[in-house]
């Protein structure tokens, strides 16, 4: 059985659940923590009647203690507090615990195991099934270190990566390891196993209600609450760019630290060499205005003499999933600087782009309502907020995210609800059409192995079949918000942020990825999010008033795509030659090396900026795969 241990939340751990001779026919044998030498263990508690493992930060410990005060007594750690609440409220504990965490609960009397990931997935949780045993951890590497877990890579996941096709959120790049999605729980009991969503930012089956009154005050209150919780975890640093999101977090963290008599957070800033994304002037001025100590590092110094691409490929080769953020080597350099200065927490502005902005698919809802004035306002706010050619932006907004979505929805509705309208296009033909589209979109050099390509198509067909549906509550806007929370790339990005902190020995946290805050932002009307006729209106006006010399009121989003493209094209040939192509991907039948070699030569020789991303995709996957064959 497990014993109570208080631990820092950045270590590796494994929890083992033994189901005995078969669930439903015999009692499960129990829950135990497996030792990982050299790594911290999470908080745990338990006895013969059950147990709990809690890794993370519990926000409402005081509230739980108050509600259990009549029978609580001494409590050694958060796991024991949650275990007692579980024994009192049963599975309703899912709705009582607030925080960022991975949680496992075991009730021997009911033969029940609950595995829970926090609402937005700030903490990861993975599992592997080995016969009668269920292994769980916040670390894929920890699971792979178990003798009974296969290290076999999923070839289909590799093909999906190269084709930019998102797999099911529950799958990882390893055949034996599954992901518990954010906001979900895994229930194991006499009736079997079930993964289900227990938390919703947007109601799944009802028309959401907009919040309009006092939203600015409520937003500021929740953001301040989140930043305060994180600042209280220990000495704090923050990634400070010159953008609205990170400057907002910096201002709030600075104010909280000053009020509580704490040292101001250390500002960590990268100076990018490309003019499109160089924000040095704003970074310096914000740090000076907030009186923050600042570590300002030129980008070339942060990545070292080998260049960005080689550094990123080397980092990717050691991570549990292919690297998502190509800039990660530079930010890891800053994180190590913060650790050397004694910091235990790094705050970022991540999540601002997702939750402070209006998703472009709102154009489809406006067109459906024939709200021409609203559409004109949306177009104007986009033009004033983003550095994109006006014609390209308007085409993306009005056609791609407007008219085309409405046409697609009307066609699917006709297939489901009125087949007589489209007698020649039945759902099976819809699936076949989707398959043909995916076949055409697969590059010629991907999946030369017929069996692998067939498996890819089968998954595509299964996904297409589930996509045949009509309107959802709340229209396109709320549908997009729901899908953001369930998107595998979002889970991968949050897991990468968590892993970044784990490897340096601190927590990297993003205040805009807070459950209460996201629930609020999802229900704020788009016109309020675009307050003042520009994106991120909830923070823009306040920053413009506080930093009047920096003109945040008119700032447009900094986009690094040109710097990325030029870096891939300039460094790609050297990296390709040093790696000797893609023998690992070829060995698994994921790529045709001859076709692929010709493709890379063409991209580099012709300096094709529109396809520069393929250099990163291909070499990143190859670098990650090699140590795993």
Residue 431 has pLDDT above 70, yes or no: no
Residue 423 has pLDDT above 50, yes or no: no
Rounded Cα distance between 261 and 253, Å, is 12
Residue 512 has pLDDT above 90, yes or no: yes
- Bridge partners (DSSP) of residue 114 are 105, 187
Does residue 160 sit in the same domain as residue 275? no
Tell me: the pLDDT tens digits for 251-289? 999 999 999 998 899 999 999 999 989 999 999 999 999
Looking at the 3D structure of the chain, how many domains does it have? Answer: 3
| Start-to-end C-alpha separation, the chain | 36
Among the three residues 130, 163, 197, which one is the final residue of a domain in this structure? Answer: 197
- CA angle 612–616–618, rounded 5-degree value: 105
Does residue 127 sit in the same domain as residue 236? no
What integer pLDDT is reported at residue 424 of this predicted model?
45
Does residue 113 sit in the same domain as residue 183? yes
User: How many C-beta neighbours within 10 Å does residue 213 have?
Assistant: 7
Does residue 74 sit in the same domain as residue 159? yes
pLDDT band at 4 (very low <50, low <70, confident <90, very high): very low
Does residue 315 sit in the same domain as residue 261? yes
Does 386 map to a domain? Answer: no
What integer pLDDT is reported at residue 440 of this predicted model?
47
Stretch 476-483: mean pLDDT = 92
Residue 468 has pLDDT above 50, yes or no: no
Residue 621 has pLDDT above 60, yes or no: yes
Tell me: the pLDDT tens digits for 111-129? 999 999 999 999 999 999 9
Among the three residues 133, 165, 197, which one is the final residue of a domain in this structure? Answer: 197
Question: In whole angstroms, how far apart are CA 10 and each of 116, 312, 319, 337?
Answer: 18, 22, 15, 18
User: Domain containing 167 — which CATH number?
Assistant: 3.60.20.10
What integer pLDDT is reported at residue 39 of this predicted model?
63
Task: Confirm if 85 and 60 have CB atoms less than 8 A apart.
Answer: no
Furthest-apart CA atoms within the chain: distance in Å: 74
| Domain that residue 621 falls in | 562-628
User: Domain containing 550 — which CATH number?
Assistant: 3.40.50.620
Mean pLDDT (the chain) is 89
**Picking from 72-86, 353-367, 401-415, 531-545, which range would have the lowest pLDDT averaged per residue?**
401-415
Interstrand relation of 50-58 and 345-347 (parallel, antiparallel or unpaired)? unpaired
Does 396 map to a domain? Answer: no
Does 480 map to a domain? Answer: no
Tell me: the pLDDT tens digits for 145-162? 998 899 999 999 999 999
The number of residues in the chain equals 629
Task: Confirm if 201 and 485 have CB atoms less than 8 A apart.
Answer: yes
What integer pLDDT is reported at residue 243 of this predicted model?
95
User: How many C-beta neighbours within 10 Å does residue 22 have?
Assistant: 9
Rounded Cα distance between 285 and 485, Å, is 35
Does 460 map to a domain? Answer: no
User: How many C-beta neighbours within 10 Å does residue 434 have?
Assistant: 18
Rounded Cα distance between 268 and 482, Å, is 33
Tell me: the pLDDT tens digits for 25-57? 334 567 888 766 656 789 999 888 999 999 999
Interstrand relation of 294-298 and 99-107 (parallel, antiparallel or unpaired)? unpaired
Residue 327 has pLDDT above 70, yes or no: yes
Among the three residues 542, 559, 576, which one is the final residue of a domain in this structure? Answer: 559
Does 519 map to a domain? Answer: yes
Does residue 93 sit in the same domain as residue 229? no
Tell me: the pLDDT tens digits for 382-400? 999 998 899 999 999 999 9
Does residue 541 sit in the same domain as residue 592? no
What integer pLDDT is reported at residue 2 of this predicted model?
33
pLDDT band at 434 (very low <50, low <70, confident <90, very high): low
Does 127 map to a domain? Answer: yes
What integer pLDDT is reported at residue 422 of this predicted model?
45
Task: Confirm if 48 and 170 have CB atoms less than 8 A apart.
Answer: no
Does 409 map to a domain? Answer: no
Does residue 575 sit in the same domain as residue 538? no
Does residue 81 sit in the same domain as residue 23? yes
Tell me: the pLDDT tens digits for 181-216? 999 999 999 888 999 999 999 888 878 889 888 898
């Amino acid at each position: 059985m497990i014993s109570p241990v208080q631990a820092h939340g950045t270590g590796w751990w494994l929890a083992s659940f033994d189901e005995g001779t078969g669930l439903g026919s015999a009692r499960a044998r129990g829950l135990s923590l497996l030792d990982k030498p050299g790594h911290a263990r999470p908080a745990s508690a338990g006895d013969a009647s059950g147990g709990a493992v809690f890794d993370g930060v519990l926000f409402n410990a005081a509230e739980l203690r108050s509600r259990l005060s009549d029978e609580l007594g001494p409590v050694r750690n958060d796991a024991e507090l949650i275990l007692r609440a579980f024994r009192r409220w049963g599975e309703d504990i899912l709705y009582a615990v607030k925080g960022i965490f991975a949680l496992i609960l075991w009730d021997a009397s009911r033969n029940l195991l609950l595995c829970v990931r926090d609402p937005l997935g700030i903490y990861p949780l993975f599992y592997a099934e080995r016969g009668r045993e269920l292994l769980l951890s916040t670390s894929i590497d920890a699971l792979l270190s178990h003798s009974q877990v296969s290290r076999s890579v999923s070839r289909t996941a590799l093909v999906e990566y190269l084709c930019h096709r998102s797999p099911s959120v529950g799958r990882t790049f390893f055949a034996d390891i599954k992901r518990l999605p954010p906001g979900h729980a895994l229930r194991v009991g006499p009736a079997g196993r079930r993964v289900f969503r227990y938390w919703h930012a947007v109601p799944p089956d009802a028309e959401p209600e907009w919040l309009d009154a006092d939203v600015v005050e409520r937003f500021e209150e929740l953001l301040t609450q989140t930043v305060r919780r994180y600042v209280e975890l220990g000495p704090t640093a923050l990634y400070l760019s010159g953008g609205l999101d990170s400057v907002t977090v910096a201002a709030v963290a600075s104010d909280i630290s000053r009020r509580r008599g704490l040292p101001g957070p250390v500002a960590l800033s990268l100076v990018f060499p490309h003019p499109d994304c160089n924000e040095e002037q704003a970074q310096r001025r914000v740090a000076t205005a907030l009186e923050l100590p600042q570590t300002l590092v030129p980008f070339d110094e942060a990545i070292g003499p080998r260049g960005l691409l080689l550094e990123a490929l080397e980092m990717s080769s050691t991570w549990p999933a292919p690297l998502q953020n190509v800039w990660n080597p530079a930010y890891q350099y800053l994180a190590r600087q913060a650790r050397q200065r004694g910091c235990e927490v790094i705050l970022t502005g991540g999540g601002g782009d997702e939750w402070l902005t209006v998703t472009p698919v709102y154009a489809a809802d406006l067109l459906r309502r024939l709200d021409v004035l609203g559409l004109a306002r949306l177009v104007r706010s986009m033009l004033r907020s983003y550095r994109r050619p006006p014609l390209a932006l308007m085409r993306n907004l009005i056609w791609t995210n407007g008219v085309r979505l409405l046409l697609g929805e009307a066609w699917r509705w006709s297939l489901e609800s009125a087949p007589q309208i489209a007698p020649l296009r039945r759902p099976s033909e819809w699936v076949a059409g989707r398959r043909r589209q995916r076949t055409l979109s697969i590059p010629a050099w991907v999946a030369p192995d017929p069996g692998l390509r067939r498996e890819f198509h089968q998954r595509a067909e299964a996904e297409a079949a589930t996509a045949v549906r009509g309107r959802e509550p709340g229209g396109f806007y709320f549908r997009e918000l729901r899908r953001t929370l369930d998107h595998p790339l979002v889970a991968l990005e949050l897991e990468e942020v968590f892993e970044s902190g784990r490897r340096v020995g601190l927590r990297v946290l993003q205040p805009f990825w807070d459950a209460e805050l996201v629930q609020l932002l999802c229900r704020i009307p788009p016109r309020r999010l675009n307050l003042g006729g520009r994106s991120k209106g909830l923070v823009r006006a306040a920053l413009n008033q506080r930093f009047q010399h920096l003109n945040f009121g008119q700032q447009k989003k900094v986009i690094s795509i040109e710097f990325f493209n030029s870096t891939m094209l300039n460094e790609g040939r050297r990296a390709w030659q040093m790696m000797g192509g893609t023998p690992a991907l070829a060995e698994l039948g994921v790529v045709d090396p001859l076709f692929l070699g010709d493709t890379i030569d063409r991209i580099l020789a012709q300096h094709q900026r529109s396809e520069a991303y393929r250099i990163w995709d291909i070499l990143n996957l190859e670098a990650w795969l090699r140590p795993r064959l």
